[in-house]
Amino acid sequence: MADTPDIAVVVIGRNEGARLVAGLASLQGQAARIIYVDSGSTDDSVAAAKAAGAEVVDLDMSVPFTAARARNAGFDALDPMPEFVQFIDGDCLVVAGWLDKASAYLAANPDAGIVTGWRSEIHPDASVFNSMAEVEWHRPAGDILACGGDMMVRASVFADTSGFNPRVIAAEDDEFCTRVRKAGWRVHRLAEPMTRHDADMMQVSQWWQRAVRTGHGFAQVGALHPEYFKRERQRVWVYGGVLPVLALIGLILAPLLLIAVLAIYGLNYIRTARGLMRDGLPRNAALHQSIYLTLSKIPNMIGLLTYHWRVARNRDMAIIEYK
């Protein structure tokens, strides 16, 4: 195994099966220490992790689990503390050479607290939803506001900022990155392949649940950092709340109002498709994805309202799973 004493990897998962096996295999020879945090799997995930040489942390399932809580538990298991920690999800493969490139960047840039790279889908053509995830993952390189859960973090920064907020059930990575930036550290994306992800979203119901979770994240992270996700929340209120209500009123009382609302949705659909095509997506794929991107504001709204309902009722922030 490669001699990388200053780098540890924390992998989190729940019933990932073959995806976890492949992800752990991709780390062989790249990392000296691997921690796998299991969130109540009922498959053979724990046995597979042990067979791959990972140290296993089983979360206490009497407390509601979240990805944030799992990552924190993995970090807490690192003793002694390494210099850098790579976090990845259990449905991801790590690209060969990424750990060296990421750690080299952090070592050469002492003002950087987090470095990430490009995530890509393993089967982008399996469904329109996988294809949408592929587009979502590919973002410009350079200094950024936030990144996904696949990231390498300076361990001292993680400790100083208290890690992930375990109560944030979605977009916990955005929330963590925001606190890191507010503490004076840079978050940077390298123009390098980092991980390969298996979204495995084959059904409309999975897309819907993921969109609900996203809306919940917009609301919860926005409550903690009002400046963040501000535009996203505004769009959800308009396209997922106000316009559907107006459409219903128009359907019952004023047909012209209904036509006007449908026209607004149509214009939004066209604008979204053109934006995707400008970014290089083929026309047919852009037109197909734009349907779901336009409609996504409705489940986003459900997620947003779910968050506010939970706050009003003082309910736990239970996770919203989509697979």
Split into its structural domains, the chain has a count of 2
Say if residue 54 is in the same domain as residue 114.
yes
321 located within any domain: no
CA distance 214 to 281: 23
Say if residue 184 is in the same domain as residue 247.
no
CB 21 within 8 A of CB 91: no
- 55-58/142-143 β-pairing: unpaired
Say if residue 61 is in the same domain as residue 176.
yes
Q: Look-up: residue for tokens 């410009």? A: 140
pTM higher than 0.85: yes
CA distance 113 to 228: 19
Q: What parts of the chain have a pLDDT lower than 50?
A: 1-5
Single out the residue in 197, 213, 232 at which a domain terminates.
197
Say if residue 271 is in the same domain as residue 212.
yes
Amino acid at 126: A
CA distance 27 to 53: 10
319 located within any domain: no
Single out the residue in 197, 213, 236 at which a domain terminates.
197
CB 66 within 8 A of CB 172: yes
Say if residue 158 is in the same domain as residue 230.
no
Say if residue 172 is in the same domain as residue 222.
no
Please report the pLDDT score of residue 2 as a whole number. 43
Please report the pLDDT score of residue 4 as a whole number. 44
283 CB neighbour count, 10 Å cutoff? 11
| Host domain of residue 139 | 7-197
Say if residue 74 is in the same domain as residue 96.
yes
Q: Look-up: residue for tokens 């990932």? A: 16
Structure confidence by residue, pLDDT tens digits, 243-286: 999 999 999 999 999 999 999 999 999 999 999 999 999 999 99
Single out the residue in 176, 197, 218 at which a domain terminates.
197
Please report the pLDDT score of residue 319 as a whole number. 87
Please report the pLDDT score of residue 51 as a whole number. 92
The residues, ordered by sequence, that sit 6+ positions from 45 with a Cβ below 8 Å of its Cβ are 13, 14, 15, 16, 17, 20, 36, 38, 90
Amino acid at 55: E
Q: In terms of Cα–Cα distance, which of 177, 149, 170, 175 is closest to 318?
A: 170
In angstroms, the Cα distances linking 230 to 125, 137, 178 are: 32, 20, 13
Say if residue 47 is in the same domain as residue 186.
yes
Q: Look-up: residue for tokens 């996770």? A: 319
CA distance 51 to 21: 9
CATH number at residue 159: 3.90.550.10
39 located within any domain: yes
Which residues does residue 119 pair with via DSSP β-bridges, in sequence order?
195
